[in-house]
């Protein structure tokens, strides 16, 4: 027991001082206004403010779509590129490259690509015979456009981890199943995926958290618009903290976000039942 | 096999989708700014291929502060990976191989730590750094990056998959925990270590707000901050920004390429990978 | 007595370096280093800093550039933390009331007195809160109507003149824009800083709708009146009808005009070098439009430099500011590499006007600054105003219903302003 703490101590000390303690301070501050204690006023403000409530709803909807989407895409790519193609390393690296581009620059590039009149994306759609789309300037398409950009920038990252996880699964198990007559998908569902559970848990939780905390494309491209259709809690938090300098409200928003995240992540852990060791 | 060729074609087309915007950035960096927007539409290969080879954007970058900034980014990210791997693997080991009461609570703290949006808590943190005169130091850039709960999480997941028999066998042989950690777990964990290294590296590589808040000395700027300074109030130099971004995205990619083969390792001693 | 001599000599030799070091230390203690934060590149600030340091060898000014997009955010967090640095920083003029309210700017009224003989009045007003001066104005701004002469000629449109009395109305401009498009121009018209309060506020102001806040209470929104609705309906229609493009952010608009794709462009004089230097762009300049039923109104205002109240070097900071803002030499040095017109009158005439290659443009700019310029609303809640009203403008640009959007924005702003205590 004491030995365990020796191993964990350096990391724990840093985590506690750099992440946990400031979070607790933020929690305490969320009950203040300009330094004075005001109880639940900030939270009351959040719960009575239509715009923030809308942001909570939009955030939930955003995550309901983007997380399964990205995990499934990353998994399909991982299954494809684990060994079913020639020169897999090349494709993996190319798909990974967007992860290395600074997100702000990637966002600007996609913003240009999505210009309704003359962007490359509409040029491509037109070439295919499809009418031009408004993308980021439309209430109905803006959130999906953000999902699209975030997926382009992040799927390669998760794919790499899934490939690593897939590689851990012994061929012998899969071969045995195939000898028994199981097809590809059958093997996938009954052998591969259960054995991938630990990696999947990691990727799902990590991706979910990353998406809940996403705000940079919103900050640069839409600032919550059009008509609040892309207003996410994290963007509201950032805006209140930095632009409006309303730190206590930002902390309260952060606590709300954390609470929602904790519920979601706990559910995901339950779903994948990986708190037991191998 | 036909199937393999077909899948390779699919892989090629998919990669094209991911790589095209980066190709566009490269082409745009190699042409005069006025040309960048001229070729957006209608669809043409010209937009994505470097038809002009005007290297002035790259030259300007190389003559300015940018090489220094890229070097700073590499140094800070590398330092983060080295220290971070040590600390995270040790912590992950403590949370997986050793059984003790309250293990789940500690793990919960680790997970919560990376649920907290760093941007928000960076405000009071930056103040503490400044008050203690620790701003403008690589140490204060590296420390938050090293405390990465995600890396610990990844390594723990991997360690949980290492059979307990290995530990028990080693203990029967009289090995202490450190020996088990160093001699058994670490060598078996190359894929996870690379994965954790990737997490640490990318977190630090993409880090923008924290360096912005605590570094005021130009010579210590990291690359993303140096890039942002090219977009002024009245001077939007897209070409230079893209040139800088292309350079920035090449480095982690070039690091990842040779590390790929370490992903082909399996922990089951009986299975041998191709 | 050789021994005594040697001893004295040794003592003397030992003392001299000690004396020199002491003297050096004494003068080193007199050297003050000021930290100065702003969004401009180092090269822009170098001339004024060099000139100041030459005249004041015991003061060093250490300038740090912060990326423009993050400047306001970073300043809020740095100065909000109670740091003594930066000693000096650039303050976006409409944010000054909020900065003062938060205690981020030092009151310098008594230090400088009346500066209206040296500095443009509107910029003084923009740096003043409750009659007290909190920053020294460094720059101001105005807006011009650029036109593409080739596109206009093909459409048979008369080229506008630089006479401010003869300026186009928005209505006439729209007609000309449509005509230009029918004759082949891709777009008829575009704003420089599209959907930004700075750029678009003159539209409702021109119709007499006010600047968006109540005259009785600077924390009460007032942008749902008829003039606002009319002005912003006009704004939204420009995009709805295809005269101006959607989805192009301010950073990408100058390129539209420079590449000859748009017939008319309302933008700042700082684009002149870009447009003049673009081969094949045959452009002209005219005065900012106004509504036929209203008054000509032009945007104005820019930067003032202020002192952090927690600074340890108030005197030296003041010295630098007064040099840069109030002396012809300092203001001219500050203006050399800076694209905006200086607020300092002498520097305006010597540096800015002299650098304009188009005859008569200097007069037009001066006319606008003195007659039609209206500063942005002075309110503690300007940042919230700018963000929320700007977002409303962008929503209207993208097709949202004007009245609904303005009403929702009013509620949002009221909620945000309720947080200001």
CATH 3.90.1140.10 describes domain C144-299+377-418: no
| Burial status of residue B226 (CB atoms within 10 A of its CB: 0-12, 13-18, 19 or more) | buried
User: What does pLDDT average to over chain B?
Assistant: 88
Average of pLDDT values for C196-219?
96
Domain ranges of chain B: 1-40, 67-264
B182 at interface of A, judged by CB pairs closer than 8 A = no
Count of H helices and E strands in chain B? Answer: 16, 0
Per-residue pLDDT at C68: 87
User: What does pLDDT average to over chain A?
Assistant: 91
Residue bearing the bigger pLDDT, A179 or C220: C220
Q: Looking at CA atoms only, how far is residue A243 from chain C in angstroms?
A: 5
d(CA A63, CA A212): 7
d(CA B173, CA B178): 14
**pLDDT for C40-86, tens place per residue?**
999 999 999 999 999 999 999 999 999 988 888 888 778 877 788 89
C255 at interface of B, judged by CB pairs closer than 8 A = yes
Percent of chain A whose predicted confidence (pLDDT) is above 70: 98
Q: Is the pLDDT of residue C145 over 70?
A: yes
B216 contacts: CB under 8 Å, gap ≥ 6:
B135, B136, C35, C37, C64
ω into C15 cis (within 30 of 0): no
**Structural domains in chain A (count):** 1
- List CB contacts (< 8 A) between C383 and chain A: 243-244
Secondary structure of chain C as H, E, C letters: CHHHHHHHHHHHHHHHHHHHHHHHHHHHHHCEEEEEEECCCHHHHHHHHHHHHHHCCCEEEEEEECCHHHHHHHHHHHHHCCCCCCCEEEEEHHHHHHHHHCCCCCCCHHHHCCCCCCECHHHHHHCEECCEECCEECECCCCEEEEEHHHHHHCCCCCCCCCHHHCCEHHHHHHHHHHHHHCCCCEEEEECCCCCHHHHCHHHHHCCCCCCECCCCCCCECCCCHHHHHHHHHHHHHHHCCCCCCCCCHHHHHHHHHCCCEEEEEECHHHHHHHHCCCCCCEEEEECCECCCCCCCEECCCEEEEECCCCCCHHHHHHHHHHHHHCHHHHHHHHHCCCCCECEHHHHHHHHHHHCCCCCHHHHHHHHHHHCEECCCCCCCHHHHHHHHHHHHHHHHCCCCHHHHHHHHHHHHHHHHHCCC
- Domain B67-264 maps to which CATH number in 1.10.645.10, 3.40.350.10, 3.20.20.110, 1.10.3720.10? 1.10.3720.10
Closest in B15, B42, B268 to A123, CB measured:
B42
Name residue C148's beta-bridge partners: C283
Report the alpha-carbon angle B194-B196-B199, nearest 5: 110
Q: Tokens 């976006």 label which residue?
A: C92
Among C1-5, C237-241, C278-282, C372-376, the minimum mean pLDDT is found in: C1-5
Whether C421 and A49 lie within 8 Å, measured CB to CB: no
pTM of the model: 0.91
CATH topology of domain C32-140+301-370: D-Maltodextrin-Binding Protein; domain 2 (3.40.190)
- Which residue positions in chain B have pLDDT lower than 50? 266-274
- Compute CA C398 distance to the chain's CA centroid, rounded to the nearest angstrom: 27
User: What does pLDDT average to over chain C?
Assistant: 92
- List CB contacts (< 8 A) between C197 and chain A: none
Whether C394 and A223 lie within 8 Å, measured CB to CB: yes
Query: pLDDT class for A67, splitting at 50, 70, 90?
Result: very high
* Full DSSP string of B161-174: TS-HHHHHHHHHTT
**pLDDT for B126-137, tens place per residue?**
888 888 888 899
**pLDDT for A205-226, tens place per residue?**
999 999 999 999 999 999 998 9
Query: pLDDT class for C8, splitting at 50, 70, 90?
Result: low
Whether C246 and A116 lie within 8 Å, measured CB to CB: yes
- Closest residue in A to C261 (Cα) is A118
Question: In this structure, what CATH number is given to the domain that contains residue A149?
Answer: 1.10.3720.10
C110 contacts: CB under 8 Å, gap ≥ 6:
none
**pLDDT for B170-182, tens place per residue?**
888 888 888 889 8
The pair of three-digit structure tokens given for residue A58, joined into one six-digit string: 């939009």
- Residue numbers of the domain that contains A201: 22-272
- List CB contacts (< 8 A) between A34 and chain C: 421
Whether C81 and B127 lie within 8 Å, measured CB to CB: yes
Closest in A34, A227, A243 to C73, CB measured:
A243
d(CA A265, CA B196): 20
Instruction: Compute φ and ψ for C89, nearest 5 degrees.
Output: -150, 160
Instruction: Compute φ and ψ for A197, nearest 5 degrees.
Output: -55, -45
Q: Tokens 């360690």 label which residue?
A: B159
B59 at interface of C, judged by CB pairs closer than 8 A = no
C43 at interface of B, judged by CB pairs closer than 8 A = no
Torsion of CA A124, A129, A135, A140, to 10 degrees: -160
Per-residue pLDDT at B268: 42
- Closest residue in B to C280 (Cα) is B34
Query: pLDDT class for C2, splitting at 50, 70, 90?
Result: very low
- Location of each CATH 3.40.190.10 domain in chain C: 32-140+301-370, 144-299+377-418
Report the alpha-carbon angle C183-C186-C191, nearest 5: 115
**pLDDT for C288-326, tens place per residue?**
999 999 999 999 999 999 999 999 999 999 999 999 999
Residue bearing the bigger pLDDT, A190 or C122: C122
Q: Are A100 and A154 in contact (CB under 8 A)?
A: no
User: What ipTM was assigned to the predicted interfaces of this complex?
Assistant: 0.92
Q: Is the pLDDT of residue C276 over 90?
A: yes
A98 at interface of C, judged by CB pairs closer than 8 A = no
DSSP A132: P
Per-residue pLDDT at A126: 93
d(CA A194, CA B118): 33
Closest in B38, B231, B234 to C259, CB measured:
B38
Whether A243 and C76 lie within 8 Å, measured CB to CB: yes
Whether C246 and A134 lie within 8 Å, measured CB to CB: yes
Q: Which of B235, B240, B241 to mutate to test the interface with C (most CBs of C within 10 A)?
A: B235
Closest in C39, C74, C259 to B213, CB measured:
C74
C316 contacts: CB under 8 Å, gap ≥ 6:
C32, C34, C56, C59, C87
Beta-carbon contacts below 8 Å between A and B: 284
Whether A167 and B227 lie within 8 Å, measured CB to CB: no
Whether A242 and C248 lie within 8 Å, measured CB to CB: no
Nearest to C174 by CA among C228, C226, C240, C223: C240
Tell me whether residue A4 is in a domain.
Answer: no
Q: Are A13 and A217 in contact (CB under 8 A)?
A: no
Nearest to A148 by CA among A206, A222, A203, A80: A222
Q: CA separation (Å) from B272 to A79, C94, C198?
A: 19, 68, 67
B117 at interface of A, judged by CB pairs closer than 8 A = yes
d(CA A60, CA B80): 33
d(CA C105, CA C36): 14
d(CA C357, CA A122): 40
- Closest residue in A to B208 (Cα) is A102
**pLDDT for A229-247, tens place per residue?**
999 999 999 999 988 989 9
Touching subunits for chain A (3+ Cβ pairs under 8 A)? B, C
d(CA C251, CA C300): 19
**How many other C-beta atoms lie within 10 A of the C-beta of residue B208?**
20
Average of pLDDT values for A18-42?
93
Angle between the N-to-C axes of helices A50-81 and C402-418, in degrees from 0 to 180, rounded to the nearest 10 = 100
- Compute CA A215 distance to the chain's CA centroid, rounded to the nearest angstrom: 11
**pLDDT for A122-143, tens place per residue?**
999 999 999 999 999 999 999 9
d(CA B90, CA B195): 15
Containing A5, the helix (H) or strand (E) segment is helix A2-15
The pair of three-digit structure tokens given for residue C99, joined into one six-digit string: 């900065």
Q: Is the pLDDT of residue C260 over 90?
A: yes
d(CA C418, CA C411): 11
Touching subunits for chain B (3+ Cβ pairs under 8 A)? A, C
Whether B224 and A104 lie within 8 Å, measured CB to CB: yes
A115 at interface of C, judged by CB pairs closer than 8 A = yes
- List CB contacts (< 8 A) between C248 and chain A: 115
Average of pLDDT values for C172-190?
97
- List CB contacts (< 8 A) between B274 and chain A: 83
Q: CA separation (Å) from C322 to A134, B18, C344?
A: 51, 54, 11
Tell me whether residue A9 is in a domain.
Answer: no
Whether C70 and B212 lie within 8 Å, measured CB to CB: yes
**How many other C-beta atoms lie within 10 A of the C-beta of residue A123?**
19
Q: Phi-psi region for residue C110, left (φ > 0), alpha (ψ -120 to 50) or beta?
A: alpha
Q: Tokens 């059984």 label which residue?
A: B99
Q: Looking at CA atoms only, how far is residue A140 from chain B in angstroms?
A: 24
Q: Which of A120, A199, A238, A265 to mutate to test the interface with B (most CBs of B within 10 A)?
A: A120
d(CA B248, CA C184): 41
Tell me whether residue A52 is in a domain.
Answer: yes
Pairing outcome for strands C298-299 and C373-374? parallel
Which pairs count as long-range contacts for C269-273, CB under 8 Å and 24+ apart, including other chains? C269/C142, C269/C144, C269/C339, C269/C341, C269/C356, C269/C361, C269/C365, C270/B234, C270/C339, C270/C340, C271/B234, C271/C146, C271/C192, C272/C356, C272/C357, C272/C358, C273/C339
**pLDDT for A95-123, tens place per residue?**
999 999 999 999 999 999 999 999 999 99
B161 at interface of A, judged by CB pairs closer than 8 A = yes
Tell me whether residue A10 is in a domain.
Answer: no
- List CB contacts (< 8 A) between B8 and chain A: 85-87
- List CB contacts (< 8 A) between C72 and chain A: 242-243
Secondary structure of C9-28 as H, E, C letters: HHHHHHHHHHHHHHHHHHHH
Query: pLDDT class for C163, splitting at 50, 70, 90?
Result: very high
Per-residue pLDDT at A176: 82
């Amino acid at each position: 027991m004491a030995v365990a703490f020796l191993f964990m101590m350096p990391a724990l000390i840093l985590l506690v001082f750099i992440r946990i303690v400031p979070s607790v301070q933020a929690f305490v501050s969320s009950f203040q206004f300009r330094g004075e204690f005001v109880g639940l006023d900030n939270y009351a403000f959040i719960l009575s403010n239509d715009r923030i409530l809308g942001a909570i709803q939009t955030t939930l909807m955003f995550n309901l779509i983007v997380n399964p989407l990205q995990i499934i895409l990353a998994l399909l790519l991982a299954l494809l590129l684990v060994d079913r193609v020639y020169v897999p390393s090349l494709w993996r690296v190319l798909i990974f490259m967007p992860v290395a581009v600074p997100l702000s620059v990637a966002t600007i590039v996609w913003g240009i690509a999505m210009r309704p009149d003359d962007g490359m994306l509409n040029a491509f759609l037109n070439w295919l015979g499809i009418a031009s789309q408004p993308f980021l300037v439309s209430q109905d398409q803006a959130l999906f456009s953000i999902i699209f950009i975030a997926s382009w920038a992040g799927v390669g990252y998760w794919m790499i981890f899934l490939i690593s996880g897939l590689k851990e699964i012994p061929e012998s198990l899969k071969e045995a199943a195939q000898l028994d007559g199981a097809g590809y998908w059958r093997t996938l569902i009954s052998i591969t995926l259960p054995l991938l559970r630990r990696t999947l848990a990691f990727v799902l939780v990590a991706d979910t958290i990353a998406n809940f905390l996403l705000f940079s494309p919103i900050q640069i491209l839409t600032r919550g618009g059009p008509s609040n259709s892309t207003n996410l809690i994290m963007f509201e938090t950032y805006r209140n903290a930095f632009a409006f300098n309303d730190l206590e409200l930002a902390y309260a928003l952060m606590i709300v976000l954390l609470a929602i995240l904790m519920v979601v992540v706990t559910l995901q852990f339950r779903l994948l039942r990986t708190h037991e060791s191998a | 096999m036909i199937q393999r060729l077909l899948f390779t074609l699919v892989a090629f087309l998919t990669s094209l989708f991911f790589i095209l915007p980066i190709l566009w950035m490269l082409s745009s960096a190699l042409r005069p700014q006025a040309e960048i927007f001229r070729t957006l539409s209608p669809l043409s290969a010209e937009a994505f291929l470097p038809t002009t080879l005007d290297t002035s954007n790259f030259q300007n970058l190389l003559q300015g502060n940018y090489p220094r900034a890229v070097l700073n980014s590499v140094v800070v990210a590398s330092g983060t990976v080295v220290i971070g791997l040590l600390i995270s693997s040790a912590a992950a080991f403590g949370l997986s191989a050793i059984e003790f009461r309250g293990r789940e609570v500690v793990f919960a703290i680790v997970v919560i730590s990376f649920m907290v949006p760093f941007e928000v808590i960076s405000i009071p943190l930056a103040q503490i750094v400044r008050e203690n005169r620790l701003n403008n130091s690589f140490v204060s850039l590296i420390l938050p990056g090293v405390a990465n709960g995600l890396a610990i999480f990844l390594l723990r997941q991997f360690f949980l998959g290492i059979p307990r028999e290995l530990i028990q066998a080693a203990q029967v042989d009289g090995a202490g925990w450190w020996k088990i950690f160093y001699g058994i777990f670490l060598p078996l964990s190359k894929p996870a270590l690379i994965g954790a290294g990737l997490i640490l590296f990318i977190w630090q590589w993409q880090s923008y707000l924290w360096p912005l808040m605590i570094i005021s000395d130009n010579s210590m700027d990291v690359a993303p901050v140096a890039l942002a300074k090219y977009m002024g109030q009245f001077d939007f130099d897209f070409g230079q920004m893209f040139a800088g971004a292309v350079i920035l995205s090449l480095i982690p990619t070039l690091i990842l390429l040779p590390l790929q083969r370490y992903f082909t390792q399996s922990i089951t001693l009986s299975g041998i990978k191709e | 007595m050789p021994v005594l001599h040697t001893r004295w000599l040794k003592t003397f030799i030992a003392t001299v370096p000690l004396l020199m070091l002491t003297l050096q230390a004494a003068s080193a203690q007199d050297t003050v280093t000021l930290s100065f934060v702003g969004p401009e590149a180092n090269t822009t600030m170098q001339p004024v800093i060099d000139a100041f340091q030459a005249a004041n060898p015991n003061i060093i000014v250490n300038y740090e550039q912060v990326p423009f997009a993050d400047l306001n955010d970073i300043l809020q967090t740095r100065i909000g933390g109670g740091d003594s640095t930066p000693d000096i920083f650039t303050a976006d003029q409409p944010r000054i009331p909020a900065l003062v309210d938060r205690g981020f700017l030092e009151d310098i009224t008594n230090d400088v007195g009346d500066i209206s003989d040296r500095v443009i009045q509107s910029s003084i007003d923009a740096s003043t809160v409750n009659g007290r001066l909190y920053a020294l104005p460094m720059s101001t701004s105005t807006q011009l109507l650029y036109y593409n002469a080739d596109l206009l000629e093909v459409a048979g449109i008369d080229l506008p003149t630089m006479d401010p009395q003869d300026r186009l109305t928005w209505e006439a401009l729209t007609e000309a824009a449509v005509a230009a498009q029918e004759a082949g121009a891709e777009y008829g018209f575009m704003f420089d800083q599209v959907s930004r309060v700075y750029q678009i506020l003159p539209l409702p102001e021109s119709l007499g709708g006010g600047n968006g806040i109540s005259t009785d209470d600077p924390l009460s929104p007032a942008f749902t009146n008829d003039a606002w609705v009319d002005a912003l309906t006009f704004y939204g229609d420009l995009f709805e009808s295809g005269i101006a493009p959607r989805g192009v952010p301010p950073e990408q608009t100058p390129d539209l005009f420079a590449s000859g794709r748009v017939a008319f462009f309302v933008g700042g004089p700082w684009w002149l070098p870009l447009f003049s230097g673009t081969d094949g762009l045959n452009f002209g300049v005219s005065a900012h439009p106004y509504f036929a039923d209203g008054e000509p109104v032009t945007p104005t205002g820019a930067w003032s430099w202020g002192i952090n109240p927690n600074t340890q070097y108030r005197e030296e900071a003041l010295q630098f500011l007064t040099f840069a803002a109030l002396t012809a030499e300092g203001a001219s040095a500050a203006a050399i590499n800076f694209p905006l017109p200086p607020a300092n009158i002498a520097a305006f005439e010597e540096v800015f006007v002299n650098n304009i290659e188009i005859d008569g443009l200097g007069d037009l700019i001066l006319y606008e600054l003195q007659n039609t310029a209206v500063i942005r609303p002075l309110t503690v809640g300007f940042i919230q105003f700018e963000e929320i009203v700007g977002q409303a403008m962008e929503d209207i640009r993208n097709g949202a219903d004007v009245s609904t959007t303005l009403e929702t924005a009013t509620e949002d702003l009221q909620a945000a302003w309720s947080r200001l205590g």
